[in-house]
Amino acid sequence: MNRNKEFAELLSITRKFLEQERDMGIKEFMQQGDEKRAESGALDDLAMKIKDCQNCKLGRTRTNLVFGAGNPKAELMFVGEGPGFDEDLSGIPFVGKAGQLLTKIIESIELTREEVYISNIVKCHPMRDPTHPEMRGNDRPPTQDEVAQCLPILFKQIGIIEPKIICTLGSPATRALLNLSEGIGKLRGKFYDFYPPYGKFGEPIKVIPTYHPAYLLRDPTRKREVWEDMKKIKKAMTSISPH
C-alpha cells in the first residue's frame, strides 16, 4: 500500500470516529443543554484541554503548543500545515516570514488578522532534528500519524467557529480536510464542500485551496494566482448567507 492510500485510510478512520460521536449526539464542551456556548469560551476550553497534549511525539519536543489565533466568530478561516521555528517560540501561528506574507494576503481583501482565524492541521512544530529546537530551517512535514492525532482538534475548532469559508494553505492542509490526492496546482482556486463533524451538522463549509505563503517565498511568480484566489474568496463572502 502506498503512502497516499495509507494517509487516506487514516483520515477515513478519523472521520468515521468523529461521525459516530456526532450521530450519538456527543458535542462535548461545545454545548451546554440546548444553547451553544460563546465561541471564544469554547475555544479557550479546547485550548486548555489540549495544552499538555502528548498524543504524539511532537508534544515531547515542542517549545509551545500553537493552538490558533484570531476572531472566534470569523467568517473566514485559514488552515496551514504546522508551526515553524518562530511559531514554536511564540505560540502564535504564522508569525515568521511566511506569516508576514499571509498578513499581506489577508489585507489584500480588506481584512485584518484579527478579523479572520488562523490555525494549522498540527499544533506542534515538526522538526527534522528534535534535539536542536533552537535551530532554524529544522522544519519537516508532519507524519500521517501526527496529522491523524491532531485532526480532531482542528475539526473541533472549525465546529466552534463555523466559518463561511476555509482557505487551506498548501497540499497537506487541503488533503487533510478534503481527502483529495491531487496536487495544490490542480486544486487551487476552486470551491469544495467540507462537512464538519462538529458544529452545524449537515451544512457544508466552502473550502478553497491556495498556495502556502512559504511556497510563495520560494516562487514569487505564484503570487498572482493567490491574488486571484483571494478575489474569489472576497466575492463569495458577500454571497454566502451568514451563520
Tell me if residue 168 falls in helix, strand or coil. strand
- Give domain status of residue 116, yes or no: yes
How many structural domains are present in the chain?
1
Predicted confidence at residue 187, as pLDDT, reads 97
Q: Give the domain extent around 135.
A: 3-24+36-239
Predicted confidence at residue 188, as pLDDT, reads 97
Contact 143, 54 (CB under 8 A): no
Phi, psi of 98 (to 5 degrees): -65, -35
- Give domain status of residue 230, yes or no: yes
Tell me if residue 173 falls in helix, strand or coil. helix
Does 109 or 196 have the greater pLDDT score? Answer: 109
- Give domain status of residue 29, yes or no: no
Predicted confidence at residue 238, as pLDDT, reads 87
Among residues 35, 65, 29, 72, which one has the least CA distance to residue 162? 72
Q: Is 33 exposed, middle or buried (CB count within 10 Å of its CB: 0-12, 13-18, 19+)?
A: exposed
What gap in Å lies between CA 13 and CA 79, rounded to an integer?
21
- Give domain status of residue 17, yes or no: yes
- Give domain status of residue 114, yes or no: yes
Across the range 212-238, mean pLDDT stands at 97
Predicted confidence at residue 97, as pLDDT, reads 96
pLDDT at 179 over 80: yes
What gap in Å lies between CA 202 and CA 204, rounded to an integer?
6
Letter string b/e over residues 202-238, b meaning 16 or more CB atoms within 10 A of that residue's CB = eeebbbbbbbbbbbbeeeeebbeebeebbebbeeebe
Do you know the residue count of the chain? 243
Angle at 109 between CA 68 and CA 234, to 5 degrees: 95
Could you tell me the CATH number of the domain that includes residue 205?
3.40.470.10
pLDDT tens for each residue of 42-59: 999 999 999 999 999 999
- Give domain status of residue 31, yes or no: no
- Give domain status of residue 73, yes or no: yes
Contact 155, 196 (CB under 8 A): yes
Tell me if residue 121 falls in helix, strand or coil. coil
% residues pLDDT > 90 (the chain): 77
- Give domain status of residue 157, yes or no: yes
Predicted confidence at residue 40, as pLDDT, reads 81
Contact 103, 77 (CB under 8 A): no
